[in-house]
């Protein structure tokens, strides 16, 4: 739904919360006459593009922080996926428990070279990619896009690998019904994030975190594509009022985003049809 600021509820500690969950039915996995997205909560999405089924950064179980939402489906209830796309190795994006549970019903996992190696070592049918690679799945074409999210290097631990920019990515997903851009967690890369051909829908991370776009950077990105639908995510799911990456507030967007009617405060599991 396209909500108004008054529609956003708050936790007892004042944190903006996602609307009540809409369970995902079995029919969501059947062929469709268009492309339908469903927010899974956290940073995850389920995409059904005329019967081609993709999950982006799914996290449905086993997270290590308290959550504010009911997940809209259990991993065990997902009947099939043509692909799972994982943007980077943080456990709210590469959920090992979720991906392990999805492996028997997933044709292929796709991520960066680094995460692809982790998945292969865990026994998942995985493929790692370079930035710029193109993946064709049925009538869907996916381009791996750059991201800047190597936060681990700022907090080195003994024996830790040096993380590279190419260990993180986004995904530009071209469907028969339009383009979805999932840029992943990233700091703003001005000559990339502000200069792409406009997507029809932007999976929109607007948290005020120094290792993400930051609020001002997210708004600048949104306004660089004034006709793209903004599907809010990475907010309202984790009980973390003092942790910026998870505590974004949709109320802060209405006055600063061009064409604010394109802001979509979806409930977990609620269907969104690409192109209206």
DSSP letter assigned to residue 152:
G
Average per-residue pLDDT for the chain: 96
Tell me which residue of 89, 26, 91 sits closest to 53, measured CA to CA. Answer: 26
Whether 276 is covered by a domain: the verdict is no
Task: Give the SS3 label for residue 132.
Answer: coil
pLDDT beyond 80 at 2 = no
CA dist., res. 111 & res. 126, Å (int): 8
The pLDDT assigned to 1 comes to 46
Whether 159 is covered by a domain: the verdict is no
Whether 82 is covered by a domain: the verdict is yes
169-218 confidence digits (pLDDT tens): 999 999 999 999 999 999 999 999 999 999 999 999 999 999 999 999 99
Judge contact between 221 and 190, C-beta under 8 A: no
Whether 232 is covered by a domain: the verdict is yes
CA dist., res. 106 & res. 189, Å (int): 32
The pLDDT assigned to 136 comes to 98
Q: Give the domain range for residue 244.
A: 5-152+164-267
Whether 157 is covered by a domain: the verdict is no
The pLDDT assigned to 3 comes to 46
CA dist., res. 99 & res. 227, Å (int): 33
Whether 275 is covered by a domain: the verdict is no
The pLDDT assigned to 103 comes to 98
The pLDDT assigned to 276 comes to 77
The pLDDT assigned to 35 comes to 98
Number of domains in the chain: 1
What proportion of the chain, given as a percentage, has pLDDT over 90? 96
pLDDT beyond 90 at 7 = no
Whether 158 is covered by a domain: the verdict is no
Please, how many CA atoms are within 13 Å of residue 2, restricted to the half-sphere of its CB?
A: 10
10-68 confidence digits (pLDDT tens): 999 999 999 999 999 999 999 999 999 999 999 999 999 999 999 999 999 999 999 99
- Where residue 99 sits, what CATH number does that domain have? 3.60.15.10
The pLDDT assigned to 245 comes to 94
137-157 confidence digits (pLDDT tens): 999 999 999 999 999 999 999
pLDDT beyond 90 at 5 = no
Whether 274 is covered by a domain: the verdict is no
């Amino acid at each position: 739904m396209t909500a108004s600021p008054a529609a956003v509820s708050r936790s007892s500690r004042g944190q903006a919360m996602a609307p009540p969950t809409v369970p995902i039915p079995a029919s969501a996995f059947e062929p469709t006459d268009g492309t339908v997205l469903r927010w899974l909560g956290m940073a995850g999405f389920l995409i059904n593009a005329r019967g081609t089924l993709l999950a982006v950064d799914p996290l449905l179980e086993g997270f290590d922080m308290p959550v504010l939402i009911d997940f809209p489906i259990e991993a065990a209830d997902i009947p099939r996926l043509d692909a799972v796309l994982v943007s980077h190795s943080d456990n709210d994006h590469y959920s090992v428990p979720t991906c392990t549970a999805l492996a028997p019903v997933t044709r292929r996992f796709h991520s960066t070279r680094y995460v692809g190696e982790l998945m292969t070592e865990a026994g998942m049918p995985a493929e790692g990619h370079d930035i710029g690679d193109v993946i064709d799945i049925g009538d869907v074409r996916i381009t791996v896009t750059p991201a800047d999210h190597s936060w681990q290097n700022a907090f080195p631990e003994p024996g830790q690998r040096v993380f590279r920019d190419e260990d993180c990515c986004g995904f530009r997903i071209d469907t028969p019904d339009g383009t979805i851009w999932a840029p992943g967690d990233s700091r703003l890369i001005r000559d990339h994030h502000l200069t792409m051909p406009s997507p029809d829908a932007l999976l929109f991370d607007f948290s005020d975190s120094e290792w993400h776009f930051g609020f001002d950077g997210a708004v600048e990105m949104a306004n660089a594509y004034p006709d793209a639908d903004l599907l809010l995510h990475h907010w309202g799911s984790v009980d973390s009022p003092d942790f910026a990456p998870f505590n974004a507030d949709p109320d802060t967007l209405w006055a600063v985003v061009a064409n604010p009617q394109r802001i979509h405060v979806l409930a977990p599991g609620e269907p969104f049809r690409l192109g209206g």
